[in-house]
Amino acid sequence: MDSALTSVALPLALAVVMFGLGLALTPDDFGRVRREPKAALIALALQLLVLPAVCFGLVKLFDLDPIAAVGMMLLAASPGGTTANLFSHLFRGDVALNITLTAVNSVVAAFSLPLVVGLALEHFDPSGLDDEVGLQLGKVLQVFAIVLVPVAIGMLVRSRSAAFADRMDRPVRAASVVVLAAVIVGTIVSERDNVADYLAELGPAAVAFCLISLTVGYAGPRLLGVPHRQSIASGFEIGVHNGTLAIAVAISVLDTTELAVPAAVYSVVMFPLAALAGPVFNRAGGTTGASQDERITVTGGEPRP
């Protein structure tokens, strides 16, 4: 990819997304885990432990090449995206739990993501990558900075002016969607000579991983006695990954466009699959989707619970 894109545009784009996340967070969102631990801890365990294991199994099952395998593991280690909140609201999930999980996951990912990716690089040992592509200390610090610093700034802005943060919620969310689309297009264009091959190789694995993530995210908590609405929140949080973060780490930190392709492919398939999963979750719990009034509310900016 062009150096200006990798060194300036992509990190700036990710900063917009993570800043928007911070605008929706308060310190109380982190404290909710302590007050209502069961649902949050189950969802976090699924996100941090089960998903990487599932992804590893799929990588082996589909016999992906080493670079694609590491890219898939990078995706699996990425936290839920802010769009999970919107899906949860539309299909009557517990949006407060989504906010809590996104907050905690974003912090934990600063540590867990380099660990998972480092182990994946060591295990799969992609021969086509530069010898120095691994996550050394400096690159780990880069991940830490691009994940947490914009979130912290967004939280600081909300603490100073909640009204301003609420006004900015809708435009920043819209900008985040545009950013994600631009990042996906940019990644695909940079690899345009190989797009057909990537889709053929990674499409089935991405679809399978998304469907399993959504299913495990909802069914796991339900089987462990978590209420329906909180299970919906967990399903979307675990199934809707932060593809922008995964792509940014691959390109800006690891300096390898090929590692970003699995996240780009996943980002394309996860939105329609998540939209299809919502009615399924609701039927499983004996409820229907959001009312017309709720849908109108979403278009005007998601209210804080």
- Residue 125: the pLDDT is 84
Region 17-41: mean pLDDT is 77
Region 270-299: mean pLDDT is 67
Does residue 78 surpass a pLDDT of 80? yes
194 within some domain: yes
Does residue 236 surpass a pLDDT of 50? yes
98 within some domain: yes
Query: Between 199 and 282, where is the model more confident?
Result: 282
Among 124-128, 131-135, 161-165, 292-296, name the most confident range: 161-165
- Token digits of residue 127: 């021969």
The rounded distance, in Å, linking the Cα atoms of 157 and 155 is 5
Query: Between 11 and 278, where is the model more confident?
Result: 278
> DSSP string covering 216-234, please?
HHHHHHHHTT--HHHHHHH
4 within some domain: no
72 within some domain: yes
The rounded distance, in Å, linking the Cα atoms of 93 and 86 is 9
Q: State the pLDDT confidence band at 223, using cuts at 50, 70 and 90.
A: very high
Number of domains in the chain: 1
Does residue 25 surpass a pLDDT of 50? yes
Q: State the pLDDT confidence band at 184, using cuts at 50, 70 and 90.
A: low
CA angle 133, 138, 143 (to 5 degrees): 85
Query: Between 24 and 278, where is the model more confident?
Result: 278
205 within some domain: yes
3 within some domain: no
Q: State the pLDDT confidence band at 94, using cuts at 50, 70 and 90.
A: confident
> DSSP string covering 253-280, please?
IS--GGGGHHHHHHHHHHHHHHHHHHHH
The rounded distance, in Å, linking the Cα atoms of 3 and 226 is 47
The SS3 of residue 241 is: strand
93 within some domain: yes
Task: State the pTM of this model.
Answer: 0.74
Maximum CA pair distance of the chain? Answer: 55
Q: What is the mean pLDDT of the chain?
A: 79
The rounded distance, in Å, linking the Cα atoms of 164 and 182 is 26
State the burial class of residue 241 (Cβ atoms within 10 Å of its Cβ: 0-12, 13-18, 19+). buried
6 within some domain: no
Under the phi-then-psi rule, with left for phi > 0, alpha for psi from -120 to 50, and beta for the rest, what region is 41?
alpha
CATH code assigned at 64:
1.20.1530.20
Under the phi-then-psi rule, with left for phi > 0, alpha for psi from -120 to 50, and beta for the rest, what region is 250?
alpha
First to last CA, the chain: 41
- Residue 211: the pLDDT is 96
What is the residue range of 157's domain?
11-299
Give the tens place of pLDDT for each residue, 242-262.
887 888 888 877 878 888 889
